[in-house]
Structure 1
Amino acid sequence: MDKTLIIDYYTDILCVWAWIAQKRIDELNKTLGNKIELKCYYVDIFGDVPTKINTQWQSKGGFIGFAEHIQQSASAFEYAHINPKVWTEVRPSTSANAHLMLKAVEITYDKKKSIEMALKFRTAFFVDGLDIGNLNVLYNLVTANGLDRNTVNTSIGDGSAMASLMGDYQKSKEQNIKGSPSYVIGDGRQTLYGNVGYRVILANIEALLENPTAEASWC
């Protein structure tokens, strides 16, 4: 039996490019089926939103300038709707609370449920304009999707969810992750990040699937 190709997939829940990339992920799973295994991790891009905006966007309009940039970035992708309140009125302070909640769901339920909730969180922010940096909003989303708040909270209370999240952040540093989303393919032989087109991602994966023992791929 052919070996499944492992893809380490890093995102920040507040990253618009990760929101846009969701359709590409769905297509990869549909096209390649059991030939690949996507392992989802979180990277700290929006851990401290106020500092990020004040340092990187201060001369470009601050939150309003960043909001305009987000709208423009998503405008080319009709499936990636962005609520006009995103970053103009709704300004999460951090992505870390959402990441923590998702790691808690992963521990107390399973990885599949956590991945499903990640999409729920992203939809709540980008489409519904909810502040997913707020713990109360996150708990409401968890319960609205049929999960038990107290069950999820056990791994937050005992520190295991935080430990798992810190593990993700540390792993992202070890793999020299530069942005969100990032795809680390074939034990680090290929690393792609940012707004990478579906065909480019697919070509890299297929090259490694066809040459699983090669030291390097031509693409």
Structure 2
Amino acid sequence: MEPIRIFYFSDVLCIWAYIAQVRLDELNTTFQDKIAIEQHFVSVFGTAREKLENRWRDRGGLQGYRDHVQEVVKKFNHITVHPEIWTQVTPVSSTSCHLFLHAIRLLEVKGLVERSQPVFEKTIWAFREAFFTQLADISDRKVQFEIAENLGLPIADIQAQIDSGEAYAQLSKDFDLVKEHTVTVSPTLIFNEGRQRLNGNVGYRVMEANIRELLHNPAGEQSWC
């Protein structure tokens, strides 16, 4: 049986996606070759600073959003965030991160990095952790290269994927997928060729139940429920 294909859309600056990573890891551990999770990006924080300043203007501005994030994180014991998240450092945009990460994925596709290691997923997590715990301005290209260097990735090859336009093309594909599936929330999981979706802060058991239902009722078969 072909693995169940799952589209996973997230924004690298989204606290909910940061929280949800442990659930993705558990899905991959539980189902292994029965599922194939394809990570894509949705630019919820494409204009991060401007968006937060405008939307939180009447609720304390960036300080209000910081307090909101801190309250959210208190409900989970598997992650931490810096006390001054979003206030001391406010990235301009997640889009530059997504472009850079697509360049990393192209290195995998082209065999320019070791394929036995999940380099793309590892780098996504490194970006999130750098921002949420260390207040690294991951929208800044210099910071992006520093993270890549720390992971032992070939800097010149990453730059080549960006300079050639190939990373932009991959990012554009994400924009098209976001439109096609009307994705507005980070994170969003889409199953069953778009017929099922889970938006936002969804618990692991709900994700697992959706996958098990698809495994027990393959495409083309009717389920009484």
Counterpart check, 1:199 vs 2:205: yes
Structure 1 counterpart of 2:63: 64
The residue identity in structure 2 corresponding to 1:151 is D
Counterpart check, 1:113 vs 2:119: yes
Contact 2:102–2:167 at 8 Å: present in 1 too? yes
2:221 aligns with one of 206, 214, 217: 214
Residue 211 of structure 2 aligns to a residue in which SS?
Answer: helix
Deviation by residue 1:95-136 (Cα, 9 ceiling, x = unmatched): 011111100011123483111100111111112221111111
**Equivalence map 1:66-215=2 (5 Å):** 66-110=65-109, 112-212=118-218, 213-214=220-221
> Aligned in 2, Cα 1:35/1:54: closer, same or farther, shift over 3 Å?
same
Contact 1:207–1:217 at 8 Å: present in 2 too? no
Unaligned runs of 5+ in 1: none
Question: TM-score, normalised on structure 2?
Answer: 0.92
The residue identity in structure 1 corresponding to 2:151 is N
Deviation by residue 1:172-202 (Cα, 9 ceiling, x = unmatched): 1111112001000111121101000101111
> Aligned in 2, Cα 1:217/1:88: closer, same or farther, shift over 3 Å?
farther
The residue identity in structure 1 corresponding to 2:57 is Q
The residue identity in structure 2 corresponding to 1:64 is Q
Contact 2:101–2:120 at 8 Å: present in 1 too? yes
Structure 1 Cα separation of the partners of residues 52 and 195 of structure 2: 33
Contact 2:73–2:80 at 8 Å: present in 1 too? yes
The residue identity in structure 2 corresponding to 1:76 is K
Contact 1:16–1:70 at 8 Å: present in 2 too? yes
Following TM superposition, by how much is the alpha carbon of 1:208 offset from its aligned partner in structure 2, in angstroms?
1.0
> Aligned in 2, Cα 1:217/1:67: closer, same or farther, shift over 3 Å?
farther
Quote the RMSD (CA, aligned, Å): 1.4
Structure 2 counterpart of 1:9: 8
Percent identical among aligned pairs is: 35
> Aligned in 2, Cα 1:73/1:216: closer, same or farther, shift over 3 Å?
farther
Moved over 4 A (4+): none
Contact 1:183–1:191 at 8 Å: present in 2 too? yes
The residue identity in structure 1 corresponding to 2:54 is T
Contact 1:97–1:133 at 8 Å: present in 2 too? yes
Deviation by residue 1:45-95 (Cα, 9 ceiling, x = unmatched): 001012211332111111111111111111111111111121020110100
Structure 1 counterpart of 2:47: 48
Residue 51 of structure 1 aligns to a residue in which SS?
Answer: helix
Contact 1:17–1:194 at 8 Å: present in 2 too? yes
Question: TM-score, normalised on structure 1?
Answer: 0.95
Following TM superposition, by how much is the alpha carbon of 1:163 offset from its aligned partner in structure 2, in angstroms?
1.2
Contact 2:186–2:199 at 8 Å: present in 1 too? yes
> Aligned in 2, Cα 1:215/1:132: closer, same or farther, shift over 3 Å?
farther
Structure 1 Cα separation of the partners of residues 22 and 163 of structure 2: 34
Unaligned runs of 5+ in 2: 110-114
Following TM superposition, by how much is the alpha carbon of 1:3 offset from its aligned partner in structure 2, in angstroms?
2.4
